Amino acid sequence: MNRIQWLAFALFLVLFAVAGSEVGAQVEADASGPWLPGEPLDLETLDAPALQLLLASGDVSAEALTAAYLARIAAIDDVGPALNAVIEINPAALAIARELDQQFANGGPVGPLHGIPVLLKANIDTGDEMATSAGSLALADHHAAEDAFHVARLRQAGAVILGKTNLSEWANFRDENSSSGWSSAGGQVRNPHVLDRNPCGSSSGSGAAVAASLAPLAVGTETNGSIVCPAGANGIVGIKPTLGTVSRSGIIPIAHSQDTAGPMAKTVSGAALMLGAMVAEDTSDPGSTAYPDGIPDFRPDPGQTRLDGVRIGIFRSYYGAGAFPETEAIFDEAMTTLKSLGATLVDPIEYSPPDEVWEARYALLLHEFKHDLNAYLANQSDIPADRNTLEKLIAWNTANASEVLPVFGQDIFELAQATDGLDSRAYRDAFALSVELMRTELSAWFEENSLDALLIPVNGPAWKTDWVGGDRFSFGGTSGLAAVSGYPSVVIPAGMVRGLPINVGFVGLPFAEPQLLQFAYALEQATLARRTPAYLPSLEWAVERGVP
């Protein structure tokens, strides 16, 4: 960022502070609460549960809160550091908030998310004026006829759909040499902690937006790591739910064997609050899965921060193990903290998924992508005929390469197009050697060691965004445990390495989200590791100026 951009950023922060003061002057609050009358709303500090209390008490209106977040997006995402995290603002956001305020006046909160602004990843359908583009110019004018099932659930819970977030184009499933966070429709998402660093994963805009307090909550989607990796790189909480417990209807797909939407939030309690609103059985989703005993209360008990009797396995067989001492020191600190809270650690768990799992997983994704994307496109009446199949998209991208393919190509599209369908022997073998094998081995692993959860390192320090070399994953392989099996995971901030966030996570058996969230909450409260982004232009810039 040059000097002029920094001056512009400072100016807009001043304007934002003034706007925030005006918003604060419009509402009243109990002086004993986290916000005082006449002060601007501290959007960097307030998480979703704190906002829930302010809204439910009437101390803050939905319209004032929505206006405050819109002002912050204008100041930080559109100019200033220009994160490119939000690809589109919902033009109806303030009208929705005003309607919620009227409903509140007539009968109180409409639901648990009453008045709370939520951002959605741009591969999620909304039946409104916003596009569902998957970040691609090919679908820049695609407007879905109706909300995705889980979006309808969020609206019923009282959420204000604030806008849509930028993402890695086609959820990072277009080319092997991609740059995470780049899309032809939205440009490159920046990591708010250090701007030249990558935000990771396809839900990069959702992760950066929550970290930068552009919204208290955002929805991400994951096939393999696209919730947990951007949560880690941006230093926030992410939940990858048990496969099928959050509906896939209305999401531009990669693969039904692994796809899911999930919450991204500042705190474990905020993510749990959102998950409760998203989860429900959906008869239009063939893979929808109901909780065995009904939808639980996912919110962690704040009085239960001890982990006595809990057995947690330590997963150390990950790619890059031993190469990053600073990152591993944070992982070790998390283990020490869990032990101090009463947990029994099984360290290490002696297991490493066989190589054929990862090879088969990729073949599975290619087969399902072609099938699932073609099915989605065929059901959208407004998509032009020259873009309504994967084969036609490949041709359209080629014809518009200067705009759509300037950074990386479409090798994955072409590999997927060459697959033989879900009735082929190649697909059946891939499913057996990936999903079925991982579920069998992971379940046996839990049983043999009497585990309640696995603790995993989630990410190393974010790499520099590179449009020539693409992404540089020098650490990882842990997200695949939950992704391939379809089992749940919850990831949380655990520390910082040179100004860049490091997360750890918990993986459990199906429907273990309430327990995982309680474990994550206990660790979160013991460490308080989340940090507000510094918006540093680069680490080199900070070192030269003595910035800590």
Active site residues: 121, 202, 226
Q: Which residues pair with 492 in a beta bridge?
A: 504
Report DSSP letters for 508-526, one per residue: -STT-HHHHHHHHHHHHHH
Report DSSP letters for 79-99, one per residue: STT----EEEE-TTHHHHHHH
Do residues 380 and 144 lie in contact, with contact meaning Cβ atoms separated by under 8 Å? yes
State how far the Cα of 356 lies from the Cα of 363, in Å rounded to an integer: 11
The strand ranges marked E within 122-249 are: 160-165, 182-183, 187-188, 217-222, 237-240
Instruction: Please state the φ and ψ torsions of residue 219, each to the nearest 5 degrees.
Output: -100, 130
- Give the angle subtended at the CA of 205 by the CAs of 10 and 242, to the nearest 5°: 145
Distances (CA, A) of 304 to 176, 188, 266, 269: 44, 41, 20, 13
Report which residue type is found at 67. A
In the chain, how many H helices and how many E strands? 19, 13
CA neighbor of 248 nearest in space, from 262, 238, 237, 230:
262
Tokens of 173: 């499933």
Which H or E element spans position 454?
Answer: strand 453-457
Do residues 174 and 515 lie in contact, with contact meaning Cβ atoms separated by under 8 Å? no
Report DSSP letters for 251-268, one per residue: B--S-TTT-EEEEEESSH
Q: Specify the pairing of strand 117-121 against strand 160-165.
A: parallel
State how far the Cα of 189 lies from the Cα of 269, in Å rounded to an integer: 26
The strand ranges marked E within 259-352 are: 260-265, 311-314, 344-346
State how far the Cα of 383 lies from the Cα of 140, in Å rounded to an integer: 10
State how far the Cα of 372 lies from the Cα of 390, in Å rounded to an integer: 10
Phi/psi region, residue 456 (left: phi>0; alpha: psi -120 to 50; beta: rest), is beta
Report which residue type is found at 196. D
